Amino acid sequence: MAQAETGRPARVLVVGAGAIGALYGGMLARAGAEVSVVCRSDHDAVAASGFDIQTSWGDFVFRPAHVLRAAADVAEPPDYILLAVKMVRGVDRPALIRQAIGPHTVIVLVGNGIGIEQELADAFPHNELISVLAFVAATRTGPAAVRHQALGRLVMGSFPEGVSPAVQRLASLFAQAGVPCDAQPRVADARWLKNLWNIAFNPISALGGGLDTQAILAPAEGTEFVRRVMREAAAVAAASGSPIADEVIENTIASTRAMAPYKTSMAIDYLAGRPMEIEPILGNVVRAARTHGVPVPGLEALYALACMVQYRDEVGARAV
């Protein structure tokens, strides 16, 4: 059983109970944590019967300790807030959790992209912040149903670096539940490494109008462009203190070429007309490049196109 230093179970509040939040929140509950969730649109379904979680770790129903409509409804501040929301523009992530945070609450951020921790570190400078990478394929299959399709490993560390006791405690909870979990002192390195693929394939797949990995790599021009963009990203990573070995790029291209054609999350969002994770995956990288004086003309081109698409979609949305 997971016990805090005080002997009581860890109290966890999940904010953003989509596929990732519900799956990992549910796994923490299985490890004995007291896990509540903030659910707006699905509140009644989840309150009535919990989440139906289908996972290779064993199917189960995750019944949260409390199902809240907003973070402000917590009875007392949790030990951990697990924030697992899409990193799109126009969402005030600090506001989503501010009213649930106490002086000792640890913020656990699960999400794609580079530099996504900073806005939370700025908003809550006195709270500990844990950065988490989820190597997982999971989707919502209904209002309170999640299917975990493949993989599942977590990598986590203190932001900006280190492995605090709070990280160790969280990692051991996941490990108890059977989730492969690595605590790493340099989580930023892992974040750059994981996002090298995302930085190239996500924007290209979306701006090509929803291309899969095969259509991206099949033309010689496509492979060469992916290579160029990954090299630019690796140069920014190196300038940011997280060097990436040269062979990683070629290995990433080769392994992507070997896998079945795959459509990225950004391509799927693009095709569905939903907001895309442009800033964490692309904008933050371009800004880091500018800060460090690293030329990234390929990434700049992708970012400019993505900004235009976002502008069009936001103007279009306002016009409705």
Total chain residues near a copy of itself (CB under 8 A): 30
Q: Does 143 bind a copy of itself (CB under 8 A)?
A: no
Q: Does 233 bind a copy of itself (CB under 8 A)?
A: no
Q: Does 317 bind a copy of itself (CB under 8 A)?
A: no
> From the list 211, 233, 235, 253, which residue makes contact with a copy of itself (rule: CB under 8 A)?
211
Residue with tokens 């290579």: 227
> Which residues, at least 6 apart from 118, have a Cβ–Cβ distance to it below 8 Å?
none
> From the list 127, 152, 225, 281, which residue makes contact with a copy of itself (rule: CB under 8 A)?
225
Nearer to a copy of itself (CB atom), residue 38 or residue 211: 211
Closest approach of Cβ 227 to a copy of itself, in Å? 10
CA angle (266 as vertex; 260, 271 as ends), nearest 5: 90
Closest approach of Cβ 150 to a copy of itself, in Å? 25
- Distance, in Å, from the CA atom of 6 to the CA atom of 105, rounded to the nearest integer, reads 15
Tokens of 191: 């974040």
Closest approach of Cβ 18 to a copy of itself, in Å? 25
Nearer to a copy of itself (CB atom), residue 73 or residue 300: 300
- Specify the DSSP class assigned to residue 98: G
| Contacts to a copy of itself from residues 284-303, by CB under 8 A | 297-298, 300-303
| Contacts to a copy of itself from residues 253-282, by CB under 8 A | 270
Closest approach of Cβ 270 to a copy of itself, in Å? 8
- Distance, in Å, from the CA atom of 76 to the CA atom of 102, rounded to the nearest integer, reads 8
Q: Does 307 bind a copy of itself (CB under 8 A)?
A: yes
Stretch that binds a copy of itself, among 14-22, 99-107, 151-159, 215-223 (CB under 8 A): 215-223
Short-list 170, 162, 140, 164, CA closest to 78: 170
- Distance, in Å, from the CA atom of 171 to the CA atom of 152, rounded to the nearest integer, reads 14
- What count of Cα atoms within 13 Å lies in the side-chain half-sphere of residue 47? 11
- Distance, in Å, from the CA atom of 299 to the CA atom of 233, rounded to the nearest integer, reads 8
Nearer to a copy of itself (CB atom), residue 64 or residue 275: 275
List Cα–Cα distances, 34 to 27, 41, 55, 102, 319, in angstroms: 11, 22, 20, 17, 44
Contacting positions for a copy of itself (CB under 8 A): 204, 207-209, 211, 215-216, 218-219, 221-222, 224-225, 228, 270, 297-298, 300-305, 307-312, 315
